[in-house]
Amino acid sequence: MKNVLLVMVTLLPFLSYAQTLKNSGSPATVVELFTSEGCSSCPPAEHALNQLKHADELWKTVIPLAFHVDYWNYIGWEDRFASPQYSQRQRDKVSLGQASGVYTPGWFINDQEWRGFFSRHAVPYAQGPKAPTLEAEINQTTLRVHYDGNQLVRANMALLAMDLETQVKRGENRGRTLEHDFVVVDFSTKIGRQSWTFPLSQHTTAPASAIAVWLSPIDGGDPIQTVAGWIEK
């Protein structure tokens, strides 16, 4: 019975309403942090990412994303939010020349490696040039995306979970309580023009609180247009 209840809570945001998000202005900066609960140097990086939830410009000027990787799971603690898909996403960025290597915490600002965190710099973000309208409609367990531009682009979709805690019992963070925000619990990407449809996972590791959609050049780069926001409950 306990497992059934957990699934029902996870599904609840998508059961009984439709919600539309729209951006007719400029794209936000997409900030990606590759992290792991098994990495002792990751909690300070996540703390810096978490602070962005207090930014007035959240969603309009900055979209934070925490991708939990699985390649540290073997050292004593299995990260419940980790996915091999997210580890591969980081490796793909390296193969495209967007980063010097695969490591955590690994920061990317608009698909380019950012090492300013290690010099105690604030996370940088700004709006890009105005772009055609991007609209995202959540309807039950489906996301429909429409873009008024006509170029061939990569459409990316992420569901994000907020206000999560993990008490780590083994590994490098043993005895620590980790606080997580902007955790990617569902991610998809498709190449196309103008319209895309994404199924939304019905079995995420935590209930989604927000959704982010961004269009980027096929091989990465500055976002062409973005739209993101809180999921209405």
Spatial contact of 107 and 31, defined as CB atoms under 8 Å apart? yes
pLDDT at 2: 37
Q: How many residues does the chain have?
A: 233
- Return the C-alpha torsion angle 97, 157, 230, 127, nearest 10: 40
Against a cut of 0.95, is the pTM above it?
A: no
pLDDT at 16: 53
Of 206, 199, 212, nearest to 159 by C-alpha is 212
Q: Which residues of the chain have pLDDT under 50?
A: 1-15
Within 33-137, residue ranges assigned H as helices are: 42-50, 84-95
d(C-alpha 178, C-alpha 76), whole Å: 16
The dihedral of CA 142, 146, 152, 158: what is its sign?
Answer: negative
Name the amino acid, one letter, at 137: E
d(C-alpha 164, C-alpha 131), whole Å: 34
Q: Does residue 26 sit in helix, strand or coil?
A: coil
Spatial contact of 195 and 146, defined as CB atoms under 8 Å apart? yes
